[in-house]
Amino acid sequence: MMHEHSKEKLRVSLAELLPVLEEQLAAGKEVCFGPKGTSMLPMLRQGIDSVVLQKPPARLKKYDLPLYRRKDGSFVLHRVVGVNGNEYTTCGDNQSVREYHVRHSQVIGVVTGYYRGEEYISCDSAKYKLYCRRRVRRQYWVGKLRMLKQAVKRFLKKMEKKGEQE
């Protein structure tokens, strides 16, 4: 499928754009926008790359990339790393802390592809799927390493206090 990718950019907040975005997605159309922030690095670069959204399927699956709205009103584009019924666990590619209990009702759209600069990459491509598996595996081990480091620090602090008491 060909996508129109314009170099013209208009800066509008997602909150302002939401009614139009939801209307277009409900009509079966695609919406393209440039995400903001660093949580999806290295895949998505702010001000350079853009994503193509479609209406979400009835149920997301692991590695899907939904745009959803948190209870506080903020918009998030993070990868699904776990599915539990109608709730999802998500995490940004550049993060190791997971967000739990994202409900399907919070999902606005799902990324079907993205422009990395001028190159379009489909979320159905083998290259993209390999990237997802490797990135999520990396996040898992980075998170485990962080927990181990914290446990070692607590242990050393405890031993230090015990040594001072003797």
| pLDDT tens sequence for the chain (166 residues) | 455 555 566 677 888 889 999 999 999 999 999 999 999 999 999 999 999 999 999 999 999 999 999 999 999 999 999 999 989 999 999 988 899 999 999 999 999 999 998 999 999 999 999 999 888 777 777 777 888 899 999 999 988 888 887 7
Closest CA to 81 of 66, 69, 1: 66
Residue 42, preceding peptide bond in cis (omega within 30° of 0): yes
Domain 14-165 has CATH 2.10.109.10: yes
pLDDT of residue 82: 95
Q: How many helices (H) and strands (E) does the chain have?
A: 2, 9
Helix, strand, or coil (residue 51): strand
